[in-house]
Structure 1
Amino acid sequence: MNKDNQIKNESGKQAKILVSEMLNNLKNELGINIEIEEGYSIGYPNQEKQFKMDFLVQFTDFDNEQWLIKSTNSIRERIYGTEFFAQNIRLIDEKVKNIYVVVPDSISSAEMKKKRNYSVKINGTTYTSFLTDVLTVNELRQKIVEKASQNIAQGLRANVLGNDAETSIVNLLNDLKNKALWNDYQNAQQTIKSSTYKIYKEILEKIDLKEGFDKILEVTTTNDIPLLSNRGKPKTDVSVTIKTNTKELIRNISIKNTREKTVTIHEGSVSDLISALKLSESDPLSQALIHFEKVGSKKKLIAEHPNSDKILEENLKLYNRELIEFFIFGLHSPLVNDKIQMVDLIIFTNKFAVWNRDDYIKHYIEEYSGKGQFGTPFKWTYPSKKRGQKIQIKGFSNN
């Protein structure tokens, strides 16, 4: 076997190992209730089992629904062989619902373009395919987690998906394969495969690092963030320290893992907000905010304190930047006792996006100021059974 073929062979093995590691991590570490079979094959009655896929995933909690996976490094002409297998499998095995071709997230931009183009063909109306889609390993992982957690109660499901998102970000930032790809992509990508390199690259580029130029020496990541002074949870979910050949960077990250358009982003005493805005207690805006906390809704505020509603409508929007800094990033909070609790970077995992603080504040003001209340990009209410004690703020996600 010549060197090129050896590299291709090793590359294919690593792609398959990547999928295997991901599936087993979901089953053994996250506790997802799936069964995994490596080396699926089937045939027509009394004939050879000639139609093959690399993996079978069976969802025990969903009548043993089955997904098949074909791992590959590139979308080439041989995909039509996979289509042929998929066509026959669907005729023979009625338990199979989805059949995916899966590529590493670390494939070249040219291969990623081919992947996207074939996915568009599959999901279009002018092309007949027997595949469900072409996914990256990380996209497949997300689909499996979402499927397996459908029957879990909503609150618990949100916790499972949220905790998994935090753990995933920690793991991908600490992944030595991602570090090797970043430092020397052209050579490393021939044999090193990653399910998370695309995300890794986007995060590092968002903090002004350049692939191949800023050589990563060490990455230290933690989701062990100290509690606020009131024992509440800070805005920071993950903190990362990156040492390169020229500098050391520390970034605190907030991870938003939701499919909803609006989510609760803050609740607490209005006195904390007044402190963050640097208002005196006698300031009319402070008094208006105190009145809002007492009644808990704009409707009741208009009925009981109409002048306070007018003050909030006229003045609160002047503090939109400070409100975003406080509600979303934790800045200026009197409860912060460690700078690790203040956020520098925000990551959305459902509709993936990475924002640094300044860019997100500008975007958020432009996008949502007309969609909230009192001229702010937020919806104002109170937590359940806490009217008169706390305020609750709902913000907009990127969904």
Structure 2
Amino acid sequence: MNMMLQPITSEAERYLKALADTLALPHGRYRQAKERYESLGEWLLRTASTVRQYDPQIYVQGSFRLGTAIKPWDAAEHYDVDSACVMRNLSKSNLTQFELKRMLGVEIASYAEAHSMENGVDEGNRCWILEYADGAQFHMDIVPAVPNGNEYEQMLKGLGIANPWAKTAIAITDRRLPTYWVRTLDWPRSNPKGYAAWFYDRAEPVATWMGDSQMRIRGEVESMPAAQPNRTPLQSAIMILKRHRDQMFADHRDIRPISVIITTLAAHAYQGEPTIGAALVSVLTGMRTYIGHRNGEFRIPNPAEPLENFAEKWNQKPELEKAFSLWLEQARDDFSRAAGLSRRQDIADVVAPRIGRSLADRARDISGGLLTEGLVSSPAVARTAPVRLEGGGRNA
């Protein structure tokens, strides 16, 4: 169905607004995550901190920074609070990736011990992971980093690439790389602040007040962006698409399209539409046009890190691109059919197979005034009609 020609009923618009509201993080959970995140940042800056002299700055990244975080799709999944800790008085020439990661790890371990965290600290390839066991249902990933903006800006200029977000680039650690143990300038790069600035630029004009400029610094702990009851249509559309993806690939999570690809393509395709339904039509119609090809390979460049290709794994595992194409086709079909309906129950019936019956019915009731957002609990999403694919297995 041609989504560009599909009308959107007022009932469908109300339903989509209610669906996004239902997907949003509960205020209590958000407050817990915010308090724990800022507590860790203040721990790193305390007088006895072994890293205080290196001027650490901790800030949140990923979906919490973008305002696109959604409730876990089932009771076994946790909120993933991603953050970076940048040692601003250090550089790549001062130490190895291993030394930087170990340095931060000592403080994170002491924080976990001081706060009697039963699960302690786990080590990821790029980060340290704090697992909370008090029913908060979230964990925090902390990526060690040093500044890399000036060097990266010069590198891009040498390649003839202009990038207004290069200044906020950072160098990070990755224990899978042979350079992890060696003192070298060849470190992995990232730019979460730059990506967020690009994302909020794409959400303009309705989101000009939500960007990085509105984030507050407490000491050198950047406050987590405030919960956003007045989300932009782009943010709400991405939240809905992420849940549709989760449900569709409930039994094939190893090949489900990754959030950063959905978010990047959606932000590219968004044209400032004022409603969630119009934003969904716009992004689902235009997403594919922003998938590039070079030398027979797929390319989805990171807007803030243009040398990074979000579609790199598609070129290694063709089933990932096929899964994305299948998801995009299904999302287009589901939401274009829902857009033309005028009965809440019919809309819920159309979207339920790919977002879960419980969630679909709650959105139906909220859009009809039968429930208010504050009275909606966090439901376990029913696994209704997940997509059937050849091959692959469930990613536990």
Larger Rg over CA atoms: 1
Give TM-score scaled by structure 2 length. 0.26
Give TM-score scaled by structure 1 length. 0.26
Greater relative contact order (Cα 8 A, min sep 6): structure 1 or 2? 2
Structure richer in helix, relative to its length: 2
